[in-house]
Amino acid sequence: MSLPMLFALFVVASVVGYKVISDVPSLLHTPLMSGTNALSGVTVLGALTVAAVAKVTGYRLLGAVAIILAMINVVGGFLVTHRMLRMFKKGTESEGRENVMG
Amino acid sequence: MSWVNLLGLVFVLGTICGIKLMSSPVTAVKGNLLGSVSMAGAIILTLLAEGIVSIPLLWVAIAMGTLFGYYVAVKVAMIQMPQMVALLNGFGGGSSAIVSLLALLGIFGDISMAGRLTSELGLVIGSITLSGSLIAAAKLHGKMNQRPIVFKGQSTWNNLTLLAIGILFMSLLVIPSDGITQGAFWILALSLAYGVLFTIRVGGADMPITISLLNSFSGIAASISGFAVRNPLLVAIGAIVGASGLILTRLMCKAMNRSLSQVLAGRTVLMSKKPDPGVTSIDEDHVSRRKRTADGEDRDDFVCRIRNAKSVIVIPGYGMALAQAQHEVKKLADILEGMNKEVKFAIHPVAGRMPGHMNVLLAEADVPYDELYEMDDINDEFKDTDVVIVVGANDVINPAANTAEGTPIYGMPILRAYEAKHVVIFNLDTKPGYAGVDNPLYSMDNTTVVLGDAAETVLQVASALQDTAS
């Protein structure tokens, strides 16, 4: 894809990103931050490409480091978000759970 | 449109829907799952589309990153979540920096001027995100002093560093390609240094804003490195993350009545040199006369007030997080509800060390989220409330924010706890909160200050209430 096309994509995606989360209860700010943080590990796509394309061994290894860092970001990010979100319960739900347990 | 672009669009839409679903507590878990599935799809699509699926090195690196990521995610305690997010964010930024650096060093062959521009940008923003996030994580984890670190001529040094980066940046656009390597490493070093310089002077209450901003940076860095490797999927998802991070940052700035430039300049965290005459300093004698210990003679006094109250609002703060008192607070709330009192939790938007920090901790203790109220929804109810119970909060209830001009918290919206008929404050000490401004609420006549570890004192009060209830 050409650079102008990529730039257009960048602008459209920014606007969509801006619109899509403009109303989030502060209850969810931390999980949302953590979730979008995991998504920012999407840079792993770039890391995969550079690690595959690089010919110099040092560059290849540097690319592998980039993959590892990004994957920690992705996997760690999604898992901690999942852990956080699972804890949120509505009043009725938590009572229901207590009944099951008790 | 090729099948690659089509599938890519599907994963971008999946990501957007995921974020959208995360905007509501009911669907948030699904949203997160959808986001992670889209991510997995994007990774596999890239491997296939680039024809690099059979390279073992990539799979080894993916497996290692997945294992480390899994390990830290299951090990981390809920209270460590802020520094965890900061750390993970740094990793993402570091990865973007490496991708951009390698593109700049010419692994894709000769690089055009536009290519140099995007690679340099990715390198600068990624490196700042990396070092800035690591410093933020170290501060939040207590490995570094959480107070702002300020030295003489700091602003000058910051600006000089920025200027140097700018000059290098421009010159790297036009120099012959054999000089790029050296220049790139200088840009890397200076950007890392700038990340450190700009984060060390942020302290305490401004940290949530900084982390949110860095979160936005890492998205932008990812998006720009997508230009460098010509991956539209990376450009799109990175931009979405960058935009969402900026919104969150703006929301937080608004909640604290600060502008982003003030936070970045480190101005708001500095104490004004001369205290404004409007600042009510705490009359220490008065406070010590009013100090109570939960098992002292006067315990009955405020326990009695809580017992007779019909409506109670609980305000948690960072002190609750430090004392890990959320379970005790939940127990207290249960007892109060068992006595047919109306119990609500008032959450200040910037209580704790990141947005929604209190919500996460209370959720961990099984407090239902529909008992938690945001500041604007509950502020009008304080005047009709019998007892407000403050657990380890200070700045967010400090009336000086309305009156003490020139202090860091002046103008910050607060929870109007002082309007309640009685206020019981559980806190470790009467020292000012992070903003460093004395809290006149402590010496008001309808305030009881209970000093000590919040988990212990809350539990003592809870059992005292239980004794009389049964």
Residue A47 in domain: yes
DSSP state of B409: T
Mean pLDDT of B91-111: 90
The pLDDT-based confidence of B151 (bands split at 50, 70, 90) is confident
Question: Do residues B244 and A20 lie in contact, with contact meaning Cβ atoms separated by under 8 Å?
Answer: yes
pLDDT at B469: 59
B277 in a structural domain: no
Highest mean pLDDT among B107-116, B281-290, B406-415: B107-116
Residue B80 belongs to a domain: no
Distance (Å, rounded) from C-alpha B199 to C-alpha B134?
9
Question: Are B359 and B213 part of one and the same domain?
Answer: no
Options B301, B386, B395, B453, the catalytic residue: B395
Greater confidence, B181 or B269?
Answer: B181
Give contacts of B232 with chain A, Cβ < 8 Å: 1, 5-6, 9
Identify whether residues B140 and B249 lie together within a single domain. yes
Region A59-71: mean pLDDT is 96
- Per-residue pLDDT at B465: 83
Task: List the single residue in A26, A52, A74 with the smallest CB-CB distance to B374.
Answer: A26
Are residue B223 and residue B334 in the same domain, yes or no? no
- Shortest distance between the Cα of B92 and any Cα of chain A, in A, equals 5
Structural domain contains residue B260: yes
Residue B8 has pLDDT above 80, yes or no: yes
State whether B357 and B381 are in the same domain: yes
Same domain, B360 and B414: yes
Question: How far apart are alpha carbons B423 and B417 in whole angstroms?
Answer: 7
The SS3 call for residue B351 is coil
B15/B160 same-domain check: no
CB contact under 8 A, B39 and A20: no
Cβ B356–A80 below 8 Å, yes or no? no
Residues of B in contact with A12 (CB under 8 A): 236
How far apart are alpha carbons A20 and B337 in whole angstroms? 38
Give chain B positions within 8 Å (CB) of A28: 22-25, 28, 356, 359
Q: Distance (Å) from the C-alpha of residue A62 to the closest C-alpha of chain B?
A: 7
Give the model confidence (pLDDT) of A28-47 as tens digits. Answer: 777 888 888 899 999 999 99
Please report which residue ranges of B25-179 form alpha helices under DSSP H.
28-49, 56-75, 81-104, 113-140, 154-174
Mean pLDDT of the B198-226 span:
85
Domain presence at residue B153: yes
CB contact under 8 A, B355 and A33: yes
Alpha-carbon distance values, B42 to A82, B14, B232 (Å): 20, 10, 11
User: Is B96 in the same domain as B18?
Assistant: no
Would you say residue B213 lies in a domain? yes
* Residue B276 resides in a domain: no
CA distance B360 to A43: 28
Beta carbons of B228 and A30 less than 8 Å apart: no
Which tops the pLDDT comparison, B323 or B30?
Answer: B30
In a domain, A12, yes or no: no
Distance from CA of B411 to the nearest CA of A (A): 20
Residue at B381 is within a domain: yes
pLDDT of residue B156: 86
User: In which domain, by residue range, is A69 found?
Assistant: 35-87
Domain total in chain B: 3
Q: Which residue of B has its CA nearest to A61?
A: B57
Q: What is the pLDDT of residue B298?
A: 58
Name the minimum distance, in Å, from the CA of A98 to any CA of chain B.
10
Residue B410: give the domain boundaries. 284-469
- Say whether B300 is catalytic: no
Q: How many domains does chain A have?
A: 1
Q: Compare all CA atoms of chain B with the CA of A26 and give the residue at the minimum distance.
A: B356
Distance from C-alpha of B125 to C-alpha of B133, rounded to nearest angstrom: 12
Q: Which residue has the higher pLDDT, B268 or B27?
A: B27
Determine the Cα–Cα distance for residues A15 and B40; give it in Å rounded to an integer. Answer: 24
Residue B430 vs residues A79, B31, B84, B203, B392: alpha-carbon distances, Å? 38, 43, 30, 20, 11
Which amino acid, B135? Answer: I
Residue B296 pLDDT greater than 60, yes or no? no
Residue A82 in domain: yes
Residues in A touching B105 (Cβ below 8 Å): 59
Contact B247 A21 (CB under 8 A): yes
